C-alpha cells in the first residue's frame, strides 16, 4: 500500500488531535505539514512530528503535495478552504460542524462531488467503540424496539467567554452547533433520521450565544431523543442511554470499559470490553482506507447536510417558540 501524504490545516487543539491520530498509522500515511495563520502555534505542533509549519495553507498544499488533508479551522473558514482543497483534487476530512449553515455545507459537498474526491465529515463518535457496540445491540434486536434515547455532554468550558467559539459570525452559533452537533449525529446513527425538533437554550456566561441547550427530537421510526449539552456545568456527565422494549444500554464516556446493557429479567449488567484505539485514531484509519479506495466514508456528505438541517431547525424552534 502506497503511503498517503497527509497535512492538517488548523493547529488548535483539534488539529493536534488529528496529527496524533494520523501518526498512529505510519504504515498507511506520512504526515507532511501543518498550517495555521498563527505560525508560532503551527510550529509548536510541527516540532512534535518533525514536519514543516506554514502560515498559509495554500503554500503548504503547493509545497507538500498532499494526497489528503484535515480541515481543523473555525467553521467560517471551512467552505473557502474546502473548495480550494476540492479544486486541487485532494481528499478531505473536515471537522464538525461541517459549516455554519446548510447552504455552506451543501456547497462543500457539491465541490467534492464535482471533483470526484473523498469527503468525510469528522463526527468522531461514530468510531467510538461503545457507540458501535450499542449500534450492534440495536441491529441485532437485543434491546427490542428502541423507544427513548438520552444523551448529555456537559462540562465547564473556561475559554468560552474569550474565544471564537462564542462568536456567531465565526462559529455559526454557540454550544448547540458546536457540541449538540455530535449528539444529533449519534442519535441518527442509533435511531435513524430526525423528523421533529424542539429546542431550548439558555445563556449564563457573558456571551452573545447560547451556552446550554436541549433538544427533543423524534425519528422516523418514532424513537424519542433528549439531547442536552452545556458549557457551564463543571459537575456533569458524558453519557448516552438507550431504552428499548427489551432492555437498556448505557455508554459512559468516563468508564474504561465498553457499553453495558441489561435485558428484561436480568439482575446484573453485561459489561462489554473496550479494546480498540480511541475514536480519533479509528476515524483517521477509516478516512485513510477511504482515500485508498478500500471503503466508502461512514460519515458522508449527505450525513453532514442532514445534521445541519436539524441544527437549523433547532435554531428556528428556539427563535419562533
Q: Are residues 264 and 295 in the same domain?
A: no
pLDDT at 1 exceeding the cut of 70: no
Reported as a single tens digit per residue, the pLDDT across 197-212 is: 999 999 999 999 999 9
My answer on whether 159 and 258 are in the same domain is yes
163 & 182 share domain: yes
Residues 13 and 89 in one domain: yes
| Shared domain check, 251 and 150 | yes
Task: Give the separation between CA 213 and CA 98, rounded to whole angstroms.
Answer: 19
Domain span at 95 = 4-123+281-299
Tens digit of each residue's pLDDT (9 = 90 or more) over 284-298: 999 999 999 988 999
Same structural domain, 144 and 206: yes
CA separation (Å) from 23 to 26, 35, 49, 301?
6, 16, 8, 25
Number of domains in the chain: 2
Stated pTM of the model:
0.96
Q: Residue 294: its pLDDT value, please?
A: 81
Asked if residue 321 has pLDDT above 80, the reply is: no
Indicate the DSSP class of residue 194: E
CATH of the domain at 17: 3.40.50.720
**CA distance linking residue 245 with residue 145, whole number of Å:** 5
Residues 135 and 260 in one domain: yes
Q: Is residue 305 part of a domain?
A: no
* Same domain membership, residue 107 and residue 199: no
The DSSP H or E segment spanning 29 is: strand 29-35
Taking only the tens place, the pLDDT of each residue in 102-121 is 999 999 999 999 999 999 99
Q: Read off the CATH number of the domain in which 178 is found.
A: 3.30.360.10
Same domain membership, residue 165 and residue 117: no
Amino acid at each position: 500500500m502506497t503511503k498517503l501524504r497527509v497535512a492538517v490545516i488548523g493547529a488548535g487543539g483539534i488539529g493536534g488531535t488529528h496529527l496524533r491520530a494520523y501518526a498512529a498509522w505510519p504504515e498507511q500515511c506520512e504526515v507532511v505539514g501543518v498550517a495555521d495563520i498563527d505560525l508560532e502555534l503551527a510550529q509548536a505542533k510541527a516540532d512534535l512530528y518533525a514536519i514543516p509549519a506554514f502560515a498559509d495553507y495554500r503554500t503548504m498544499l503547493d509545497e507538500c503535495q498532499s494526497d489528503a488533508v484535515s480541515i481543523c479551522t473555525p467553521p467560517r473558514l471551512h467552505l473557502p478552504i474546502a473548495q480550494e482543497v476540492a479544486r486541487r483534487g485532494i481528499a478531505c476530512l473536515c471537522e464538525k460542524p461541517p459549516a455554519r449553515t446548510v447552504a455552506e455545507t451543501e456547497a462543500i459537498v457539491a465541490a467534492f462531488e464535482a471533483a470526484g474526491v473523498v469527503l468525510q465529515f469528522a463526527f468522531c463518535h461514530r468510531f467510538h467503540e461503545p457507540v458501535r457496540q450499542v449500534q450492534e445491540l440495536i441491529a441485532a434486536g437485543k434491546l427490542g424496539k428502541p423507544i427513548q434515547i438520552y444523551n448529555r455532554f456537559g462540562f465547564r468550558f473556561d475559554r468560552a467567554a474569550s474565544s471564537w467559539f462564542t462568536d456567531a459570525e465565526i462559529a455559526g452559533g454557540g454550544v448547540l452547533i458546536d457540541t449538540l452537533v455530535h449528539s444529533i449525529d449519534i442519535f441518527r446513527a442509533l435511531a435513524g433520521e430526525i423528523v421533529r425538533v424542539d429546542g431550548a437554550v439558555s445563556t449564563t456566561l457573558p456571551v452573545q450565544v447560547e451556552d446550554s441547550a436541549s433538544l427533543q427530537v423524534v425519528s422516523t421510526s418514532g424513537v424519542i431523543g433528549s439531547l442536552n449539552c452545556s458549557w457551564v456545568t463543571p459537575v456533569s456527565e458524558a453519557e448516552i442511554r438507550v431504552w428499548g422494549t427489551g432492555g437498556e444500554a448505557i455508554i459512559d464516556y468516563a468508564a474504561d470499559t465498553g457499553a453495558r446493557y441489561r435485558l428484561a429479567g436480568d439482575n446484573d449488567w453485561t459489561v462489554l470490553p473496550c479494546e480498540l484505539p480511541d475514536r480519533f485514531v479509528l476515524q483517521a484509519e477509516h478516512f485513510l482506507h477511504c482515500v485508498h479506495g478500500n471503503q466508502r466514508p461512514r460519515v458522508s456528505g449527505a450525513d453532514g447536510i442532514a445534521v445541519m438541517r436539524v441544527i437549523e431547525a433547532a435554531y428556528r424552534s428556539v427563535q419562533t417558540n
